[in-house]
Amino acid sequence: MEQEQKRLNKYIGETGFCSRREADEYIEQGRVTVNGAPAIMGMKVSNDDEVRIDGKIVREKNEKPVYLAFNKPPGIECTTNLEVKDNIVDFINYPKRIFPIGRLDKASEGLIFMTNDGDIVNKILRARNNHEKEYTVTVDKPITSRFIDRMGNGVPILDTVTRKCHVEQISKYTFKIILTQGLNRQIRRMCEYLGYEVTRLIRIRIINISLDLPQGRWRDLTDAEIVELNQLIEPSSKTEEASLPKVEKEPRVKSQESRSTERKPFQGEKRSNRDQPKRESAEKKPRWNVEFVQREDTKTMRDEKPASDEKPTAKKRNVEFVKKEDSKIIDKKPFEKPSEKPANETLSDQPKTGKRWNVQVISKDDPTYRKKGEY
């Protein structure tokens, strides 16, 4: 029976020796050999092949992968970065390179898996796979039925609404919650949205593995637990499958046979509006007759000139000017003062007349110009 082959960088990544990106760099640098020959980028290998990096065997043939259950204490960082203080890898100090499946907040505690099998990670963690993780949570205020109801029906956090989940009250300040999601600090954010603060958070179960270790201790998963775990995650999407984009289905096109079987109207049956042909008048609309000329022949209004060379002149008004000395008095009548109105007379009582103001025009040389009492 032939062994299943996989890409070399994935094979190295699953051994826990390094990440896939680092494996690609090692291959480009010529530090990787397969069965004694230099490795080629993109080549595939199986468990029967001997893979070495810098002369060191990456994994013994048919070596069994590592699966650990660890009870993480608070204060430990779930990272493989050895430069980070109190990282989980240094705390466990396992003889082989392992990494955590998922993470727990630094302040949280409880069950977490450690492994060197990279293919199982996304099967467990991807939200679309709907695997259960159970927690016990202690908060700072008494729990109410309204709080339990709202936690179970979804809470808006991180620009989304959490999935519906099972929530059960254990005591006055403690409740149990089962999630199939893995949002960043999900339980703490949900409680914070409802006005509660988490004082203690413990993960007590992942799928079929329950927490049965003292704090800070780890153990290997049994063969029965691994078999059951693989059976439960078998329908889950793998790393490569889950990362591929969904392919949209093309719209279904009717075949000629199906078109021929469509019901057609018979004689005497009223046709619907959509069955009636379009009016021919719409197609026979008159079109504009447009005549195109060359650019040299085009003329603008500015280029057009009048038929005669004479410029059009505007009509002149006959205006007669006279000297100041020759100005005459049009009417030299004394200015009549308006008669005083009676006290009891109103504007409505006055008779309406068509008289206009008497205006007299005098010249500056007139001896009566601006004399007191006459103007």
Any idea which residue has 């593995």 for tokens?
A: 209
Three-state secondary structure string covering the chain = CCCCCEEHHHHHHHHCCCCHHHHHHHHHCCCEEECCEECCCCCEECCCCCEEECCEECCCCCCCCCEEEEEECCCCECCCCCCCCCEHHHHHCCCCCCEEECCCCCCCEEEEEEECCCHHHHHHHCHHHCCCEEEEEEECCCCCHHHHHHHHCCCEECCEECCCCEEEECCCCEEEEEECCCCCCHHHHHHHHCCCCEEEEEEEEECCEECCCCCCCEEECCHHHHHHHHHHHCCCCCHHHHHCCCCCCCCCCCCHHHHHCCCCCCCCCCCCCCCCCCCCCCCCCCCCCCCCCCHHHCCCCCCCCCCCCCCCCCCCCCCCCCCCCCCCCCCCCCCCCCCCCCCCCCHHHCCCCCCCCCCCCCCCCCCCCCCCCCC
**Integer Cα distance of 35 and 28 in angstroms:** 17
Output the CA torsion 330→335→338→340 (10° steps): -170
Check 24, 49, 54, 105 and give the catalytic one: 105
* 105 has catalytic annotation: yes
Catalytic residues: 105
